[in-house]
Structure 1
Amino acid sequence: MNKTLISGLLCAGLLSACASSSSDLKYEFKSDTPKTKTSLEVPPDLTAPTQRDRYPIPQIATQTTATSVASPATGAVVAKTATVERAGTQRWLSVPGKSPAEIWPLLKAFWQDNGFVIQNENPDIGYMETDWAENRAKLGSTVVRGLLETVGLGSVMSTPERDRFRIRIEKTETGTDVFFSHQGMYEIYINEAKEDTRWQPRPTDPEMEAVFLSRFLVRLGVDEADATKAVAQAQISTQARARLDNGAIVLDDSFDRAWRRVGLALEHNGLAITDRDRTLGAYFVKPADDEIQKANANKPGSGVISKLAFWKDNAPAATPVSTNLRVQLTRIGDSQVRIEVRSADNQPATDKGLQTLLQQMVNELK
């Protein structure tokens, strides 16, 4: 390689680094899904993503400015095109006047534009899942990184963390509700020689969910500053209480809000919603595919990893729950809901591990 070429690459790297340093983006994701199968050092989802074009991706029009105001009735913050709802650390968007069929292609384009690949999608139940991606913003803006990125070797530098999202939409009387659920994992050394590693789950990040809800508001046409303000200032309208009661959860909240919140709590605790029937008050769920186990499958000392992230602690693994479960919500008057976990055929579930799940859900729903 001659001196002229080396100088050119260094200049390009410097320019790239300078350009990156001017950005204050905290989240800058890039998918790990390779075009061809590579080594296990690239974490999960090594299979080709399922792509369905039931709803074509539209061209996005120029963003328009919208304002946000606090609603005196609910405490939610209303943007011109959506309402930001909040309960505890949970947030979601209510988009009036838009059907799920209209929202779906916007979501698909949105996640692709933010560096993710859609790994699974099912428009029939309003469910979408991204692959695992790396937050490249955590690498910082350095001359070396800029140079490597310029010559196509950016993947040489990497962080020990990966993130993905589950996206769920539901039709409401006035429009569509949109839910983003984050999952994270990190890589650790498992021996003193630092030769072998293992991927471990890490807690859900409410801040990251809020950031992407804000970005999606911008995609809907809200001014960026107003979108950030709407998500940040969304207030809890009522202090809902949750408690365990005879093997079930009693939640002091309206059925509509309980329905939304329970769906998020299930996803945060490692369960995938395969179907739902709001009329019956039932979510049908199963343990999510253990992508962390896939990543660790052929690594020495990987051992047996529990199917559900909420069982991950220093104690021996709990007894696995059934493959398919039904989560039943029952109204108790106008301001309480009873939440029970049953078998798929609607019989009382007796799995020991369910007590751990119920306690984790109580902690989130409080």
Structure 2
Amino acid sequence: MTWAAFAAVTLVAGCSSLNSALQSDRVDYKSAETGPSLAVPPDLSSLAATPAAPIGGATSLSSYEKKEKVVAAQPKVQVLPEVPGMKVVRDGNERWLVVHQAPGDLWPTLRQFWQEQGFVLTLDSPDTGVMETGWEENRAKIPQDFIRNLLGKVIDGLYSTGVRDRFRTRVERGPDGTTDVFITHSRMVEVYTNSQKDTTKWEPAPSDPGLEAIFLTKLMQRLGATAEAAKSEVQAAAPAAPATRVINAADKTYLDINEPYDRAWVRVGVALDRANFTVTSSDRQKGLYQVRYVDPAALHKDNGFFYSLFHSKQIQQSKEPRQYNVNVRGESNDQTRVYVLDPNGNIDTSEIAKNIIGVLSAQLQ
């Protein structure tokens, strides 16, 4: 199954469980590490050296997290601030929050919100409008059986769900002094690498739109809404699904979106987040997202013993993330086109570029 088809199936399944997720919104993410509060956001130059996720190869998640974490959570109890107004907007499969507050004023509240939820922030960049948590476990998913309830926290660390979640918050400046807030979810699952079940590795898994909706409602509560009002707002957001289609021309492959440029630009950014691309920079005026991407075919390709023996360096290089430019172009008032560009700024016609377009198309359905 291709990544595009895999993502499409995931989105259909996720949407059907949204209401049930909001009804049973038990989440418990508590980082095991603590440390000083983040005073200054990390230098963006460090972003390029950080892998998007521990994909491929048997590696421990704990070692990955230790290298990744740059700030620890220190929950603070504060009175909920008053907000002039907010609403949930839905476009296709995306829901986001529109807050009547400037991005710079809202940013400290977003930081506190994720820390209060028990997360460590690994990326805190007001300049790019992106905030990202570390990979954490939802302890609420661990069965509360008799033995665990009896022994309590004494053996709590011995229990594991084999699932880790990460959340990315993207902030975009809206019209009339408003701010658009997007929350996207990524997931990794621990799987056995052999029949003996003595070694494991972490692999990417489908995102959960239900969790995105849960944290969107929790953020609304943090901004002053009641729990019931927040849930009702998220559930009642009216869908508006503009048509998207992949165009396979003789010399190029691109994505057509029947939406104005401003809306399409935001939706493409959210799709990149949800599809586990690492966005290293973005320029809205030029319509460019610079992303890091690993070809799934290279990760899972069986090169054979002798080829691997003499070409280990080339194989390793093929599994490393590469830079690509996703170009969003406004073609008319209600149509936008998306291309993948090569390092020279030309339209990329490779199979990897076609794969990227396919993944984006599946996320935007």
> TM-score, normalization: structure 2?
0.74
Q: CA 1:31/1:52 → structure 2, altered by over 3 Å: closer, same or farther?
A: closer
- Which residue matches 1:259? 265
- 2:342 corresponds to 1:343: yes
Larger Rg: 1
Q: CA 1:327/1:59 → structure 2, altered by over 3 Å: closer, same or farther?
A: same
Secondary structure of 1:283's counterpart equals strand
Q: CA 1:32/1:118 → structure 2, altered by over 3 Å: closer, same or farther?
A: same
Shift of 1:27: 1.8
CA distance in 1, matches of 2:164, 2:298: 18
Q: Tell me the matched-pair count.
A: 302
Where does structure 2 lack aligned partners over 5 or more consecutive residues? 1-22, 36-58, 304-314
Secondary structure of 2:137's counterpart equals strand
Shift of 1:123: 1.6
Shift of 1:326: 1.7
CA distance in 1, matches of 2:326, 2:275: 13
User: Contact 1:250–1:337 (CA<8 Å) still a contact in 2?
Assistant: yes
- Which residue matches 1:31? 31
Q: Which moved more, 1:103-112 or 1:321-330?
A: 321-330
- Which residue matches 2:233? 230
User: Contact 1:32–1:42 (CA<8 Å) still a contact in 2?
Assistant: no
Secondary structure of 2:64's counterpart equals coil
CA distance in 2, matches of 1:282, 1:216: 29
Deviation string 1:178-209 (CA, Å, 9 cap, x unpaired) is: 11111101111222221111211101111111
- Which residue matches 1:195? 198
Deviation string 1:293-321 (CA, Å, 9 cap, x unpaired) is: xxxxxxxxxxxxxx35x659977699769
> TM-score, normalization: structure 1?
0.74
Shift of 1:102: 1.5
CA distance in 1, matches of 2:263, 2:213: 18
Shift of 1:274: 1.9
Shift of 1:48: 5.8
- Which residue matches 1:276? 282
Q: CA 1:156/1:163 → structure 2, altered by over 3 Å: closer, same or farther?
A: same
Shift of 1:229: 0.9
- Which residue matches 1:81? 85
Q: CA 1:356/1:33 → structure 2, altered by over 3 Å: closer, same or farther?
A: farther
- Which residue matches 1:17? none
Secondary structure of 2:104's counterpart equals helix
Q: Decide which structure has greater helix share.
A: 2
User: Contact 2:60–2:201 (CA<8 Å) still a contact in 1?
Assistant: no
Q: CA RMSD in A?
A: 3.2
CA distance in 2, matches of 1:263, 1:119: 19
CA distance in 1, matches of 2:141, 2:69: 26
Shift of 1:93: 1.1
Where does structure 1 lack aligned partners over 5 or more consecutive residues? 1-22, 67-79, 288-306
What amino acid is the match of 1:95?
Answer: V
CA distance in 2, matches of 1:110, 1:145: 30
- Which residue matches 1:159? 161
- 2:60 corresponds to 1:61: no
Q: CA 1:198/1:217 → structure 2, altered by over 3 Å: closer, same or farther?
A: same
Deviation string 1:251-274 (CA, Å, 9 cap, x unpaired) is: 111222211110011112221222
What amino acid is the match of 2:356?
Answer: L
CA distance in 1, matches of 2:164, 2:232: 27
Q: CA 1:48/1:256 → structure 2, altered by over 3 Å: closer, same or farther?
A: closer
- Which residue matches 1:49? 69
Shift of 1:338: 0.5
- Which residue matches 1:94? 98
249, 252, 265: which one pairs with 2:255?
Answer: 249
User: Contact 1:329–1:338 (CA<8 Å) still a contact in 2?
Assistant: yes
Shift of 1:121: 1.8
- Which residue matches 2:5? none
CA distance in 2, matches of 1:188, 1:95: 40
CA distance in 1, matches of 2:25, 2:199: 32
Q: CA 1:57/1:230 → structure 2, altered by over 3 Å: closer, same or farther?
A: same
Secondary structure of 1:47's counterpart equals helix
Shift of 1:30: 2.5
